[in-house]
Amino acid sequence: MRAYKFLLTGKWLGYLLLAAIFATTCVGLGLWQMGRKAEVDAQTAKINRNYSAQPLTFSQAQADFEKLNPAHEWKPVSLVGTYDVAGERVVRNRTFNGQPGYELLVPLKLQDGQTVIIDRGYLPIGDKNPGHPDSIPAPASGTVTVTARLRPAEPTLDRGAPAGQLASIDLGTYQKQLGYPVLTGSYGQLITESPAAATILPAFLPPATDDGTHLSYMMQWFAFGVLFFVGYGYAARQQARADEWAALEAENGENQDEVLGRGSHFQYSAPPRPRKPGKRASAEEEEDALLDAQGF
């Protein structure tokens, strides 16, 4: 542990704090993606449960037309009444199979006197009059039996619409334009009607049940959070190894100094110069030998 004492320094404590902050952020984003996935899973389960269920009667669904229970969205309802063609409206800025267009809303006056709104389907953009469909097919006259799925009313948008059109399926605004009471908690998205109209509008596409990418994003954020600490540990290990190498080099340098006599205090003594045997050394040779012995 002595090799990692540097972790207690201010610099490395700062690194640890940064890693903790980034990891916490990643975990928070991962939990957010987990929540989004839970919402998508709940929506998918609701669609699978309600979309093809047996139709409710109006008496069973009346409370949902007054205020929709989110758990009942997409449930089919069977209704009997007559269409108020004079009160129909076109909803702007809709898409169908990726193409822009409109949706056609028509009030359905039920046999008990109450009125619900039915979305009869999609209308393409017109070529004759910009901003309006070329034609609006009329529903069947007289009493009709309608099967429709419960859908929530849409909020009011801060934009206007031409006469006979709505910016959104805002049932409160629609009711004011009609001038008579309408159940505004939800509307019905048409499935079938009998008798059928002369011109049948394209059927609504089923809602998407794709799980999306929330699970993969969640795993990625959690992985990023772990990687910050992995990176911190790797950097700490590299620093410890660098300190170990520096200490080892310093120790080897001290040992070499001891062997060599520690720097400038070392004096090299050369061996005496050899002389030829049998010959008497001259005075110069004796002086040179003496100097050599003294290290000069």
Q: Give 82-86's long-range contacts (Cβ < 8 A, gap of 24+).
A: 82/108, 82/109, 82/141, 82/142, 82/143, 82/144, 83/107, 83/108, 83/109, 83/118, 83/139, 83/140, 83/141, 83/144, 84/108, 84/109, 84/115, 84/178, 85/138, 85/139
Statement: residue 273 has pLDDT above 60: no
Max mean pLDDT among 29-43, 66-80, 240-254 falls in 66-80
Among the listed residues 111, 103, 120, 104, the one whose alpha carbon sits nearest the alpha carbon of residue 62: 111
Among the listed residues 213, 203, 76, the one whose alpha carbon sits nearest the alpha carbon of residue 146: 76
The answer to the question of residue 294 being in a domain is no
Domain holding 232, by residue range, is 2-48+215-244
Whether residues 66 and 167 share a domain: the answer is yes
Please give the tally of structural domains in the chain.
2
pTM recorded for the entire structure: 0.68
Q: Which residues pair with 77 in a beta bridge?
A: 56, 148
The answer to the question of residue 81 being in a domain is yes
Statement: residue 285 has pLDDT above 70: no
| pLDDT for the residue numbered 38 | 85
CATH number at residue 158: 2.40.50
| Residue range 191-216: mean pLDDT, rounded | 86
Among the listed residues 8, 7, 59, the one whose alpha carbon sits nearest the alpha carbon of residue 233: 7
Helix (H, G, I), strand (E, B) or coil at 70: helix
Which tens digits make up the pLDDT trace of 177-188?
999 999 999 999
Half-sphere exposure at residue 263, Cβ-oriented, CA atoms within 13 angstroms: 2
